Amino acid sequence: MKHQFSWALAARLAALAILIPGALALARTPADPASVAQVLDQVKIHAQQADYDAELLDSYARSGLSWESHSIRLNEIRKHVNDLFQDYSRLQNMTDAATPKQREAINRLEPMLRKMAHSLLNTIEYLNDNHRNVNLPGFRARIHSDYVIVNQVYKALCECTGDNA
């Protein structure tokens, strides 16, 4: 038993020895416009993923699929929105190093993310309380509204950062 503990401890120490220098290097790396651009690219990827899932969910609402299918897709969108908030937090810490165009994109991001998250949270809560209503017009309208909001975030990000999507 003692021999196994030594190996486990050695493995943990080796893993830390590998991970810590990389983490410290990242922490010490000063932000510059190129690193801000990388995070903005990641934001666009997460927004694109959320947009795709929201569009798919919008099609679910017109197809008569089960509430479980809706729930799974909403959970995927929620994950992408959480990723977007994490990216946004990173961008806030990099604002001083951003170009004016990048700062504009960062500043426009927060209210759009909050609106999107609020709308999705309301839809998730509604679905949790009203499983049987996923095929009713009110729920379909709610899902379509979420898709429109997510799509606006994605398009706005592409416009702010110069992409055509």
pLDDT averages per 10-residue partition of the chain, 165 residues: 44 49 47 90 93 94 90 93 93 91 88 92 92 90 94 84 53
Same domain? 74 vs 36 = yes
Question: What's the pLDDT at 135?
Answer: 87
For residues 96 and 98, what is the distance between their CA atoms, to the nearest angstrom? 6
Structure tokens at 37: 């651009």
Are 17 and 50 contained in the same domain? no
Residues 69 and 150 in one domain: yes
Check residue 162 and give its pLDDT.
Answer: 61
132: its two tokens? 């049987």
**In a shared domain, residues 36 and 17:** no
- Distance of alpha carbon 18 from its chain centroid, rounded? 28
- Which domain CATH number covers 74? 1.20.120.660
Amino acid of residue 122: N
What is the domain range of residue 1? 1-30
Give CA–CA dist 154/146, Å, rounded. 12
Residue 21 lies in a domain: yes
Q: Within this chain, do residues 85 and 40 fall inside the same structural domain, yes or no? A: yes
Q: Is residue 165 part of a domain?
A: no
